[in-house]
Amino acid sequence: MISTPLATGVIGVAVIFFLHSIISPLLNGPLARIPGPKIYALTKWRLALDDWKGTRTRRICELHERYDPAVRIGPNEVAFNSLSALRTIYGAGSGFERTSFYSMFDVYTKKNLFTFASVREHSQRKRLLAHAYSKSAITKRSSNMIQEKVLDYLSLIEKDPESAEELFSSLHYFSLDSITDFVYGNFGRTKCLKGANRDLLNDILDPDRQKLSWFVVHLPSFTKWLYSTTGVLEPFLRKLYPMSKPTTYTGIRVHALDAWYRFKESSNDSKEAQQYTILGNLWQSHESQKNNGLDDMEIASECADHLLAGIDTTSDSLMFMIWAISRPENLKFQRKLQEEIRSMPADLFNKDGIASVETCDKLRYLDAVIKETLRLYAPLPASEPRSFPADSTIDGYAIPARTTVSMSPFSIHRNAQVFENPTSFNPDRWLGEEEDVVELNRWFWSFSSGARMCIGMHLAMAEMTTLATDLYRKYSTSLKPSFQGISPGATSRFEVLSDATHSKVALPRINFKQEHKCYISFEKM
């Protein structure tokens, strides 16, 4: 047995260690001045619990409303919600880098534009891709492709209305067909709207991807060991898998890798013919730079990341837009949109009755509807973590080097001092007095900002404006009776986000969560 003096000494050392390493930083450290619940400051696992419950984004928004635009949400993490912090952290030339959180989005073990931490590496890669995603390039080179996909979607409504009226799936078909054509062209385009390749949607439907994301972020070493262990232990460890093999996005990544191999093995003439695609663009850079260019798997990783980034973002935004203006209380907004679209001269539409990207981009009320959709239902609503390699000051608070700082579109877009009735869907707010709209735009952050601003913004807007224009030129939409009073949901990392004004979110169905459903009726005009 341990003697009483020795036991007392051990306990004393433990208490001193606890006070020095935990309590002292909490009460006296540089972050101690920042408000927030003490339990979050004490342990990172309190925020991890919110992640597990799928409430992180909404919880942080509540903390901002309760405490301050600056809230301490972890021993080494602070969330901000002010324009000054936005400029400091995300402004061009800020020097803030992405954290290790983004490593979960590496593809084929390779870094890509989205996951590079350093400003330098990100800038070098972006230079290879920026022109392909510019507004002029999208308008000139991708307009016909987008018009073709819109025509396919309208044909789906005509030929298979039951499939089209389940918006979550049908709009994912549209976004998959669009982004695969843009990234891979002949070597990897899908034809989901015509009935092929639809099994790729299973990667997105599986709700266990939320659980796997949690394990990858909060227990990275354990998760890597768990999935890499084979042999006699593997059958026993399968019971611990947060998501059964094959894991999230496996099918889509296989499709992407197959597209790369088909391209690589093709003739030079075939490669040249696809120079307008992202794959062809990167290949040209590879050939021109030779030893300094991207290697094979870096090209494959970059393309796969662009494919993944272009699916949920566009389709979820379109789903929420159509759902929002199909609600009985919002039909007035739908009628205003239809009036704008139907006032367009007939010669602005091609022989198939589809408007060009350039034409749709000029519709003022449509822009307001989409902007309000992106404000309330931002496709990437959660925290965007950053860190700085040296000590810094944000909103008057001293931030030690390598502290994780973040902001989220969800919180920014619900600031009641900026957006009147912030949880209400109201496109008209974007058409008010000029000085008021200027202020709203300063707080609009659906595509992030600075050097890390979403590179696919113009492509996403082109897809949304063109589909919405041609859809509401020919149809009116309303909620299916079975979907009245229910909000659709969209998966964002660890959580499913829905409309906050609805107490009911679509319930579980069969093997997949019903958040992946949204039922709309199309009435031809």
Residue ranges of the annotated binding site for heme are 454
- Phi-psi category of 230—alpha, beta or left, where left has phi over 0 and alpha has psi -120 to 50? beta
Residues 6+ apart with CB under 8 A from 408: 57, 60, 61, 79, 381, 382, 383, 384
Question: What's the Cα-to-Cα distance from 502 to each of 381, 494, 518, 520, rounded to whole Å?
Answer: 18, 20, 14, 17
Alpha helix ranges (H) inside 91-118? none
Question: What's the Cα-to-Cα distance from 431 to each of 68, 123, 420, 438, rounded to whole Å?
Answer: 30, 35, 14, 10
Q: What is the CA 76 to chain-centroid distance, rounded?
A: 25
Per 3-state DSSP, what percentage of the chain is helix, strand, and coil (rounded to 5)? Answer: 60, 10, 30
Beta strand 404-406 pairing with 397-399: unpaired
**Shortest CA distance to 248 belongs to which of 6, 465, 38, 494?**
494
How far apart CA 455 and CA 444 sit, in angstroms, is: 16
**Shortest CA distance to 168 belongs to which of 448, 523, 447, 496?**
496
Question: Contact, 460 vs 306, CB < 8 A?
Answer: no
The token pair at 503 is 């107490």
The token pair at 313 is 């973002």
The token pair at 208 is 């266990």
How far apart CA 508 and CA 33 sit, in angstroms, is: 43
| Residue linked to tokens 């003697």 | 3
**Shortest CA distance to 138 belongs to which of 176, 177, 182?**
182
Question: What's the Cα-to-Cα distance from 36 to each of 29, 62, 70, 396, rounded to whole Å?
Answer: 14, 11, 8, 16
By CB neighbour count within 10 A (0-12 exposed, 13-18 middle, 19+ buried), where does 109 fall? Answer: exposed
Residue numbers belonging to the annotated binding site: 454
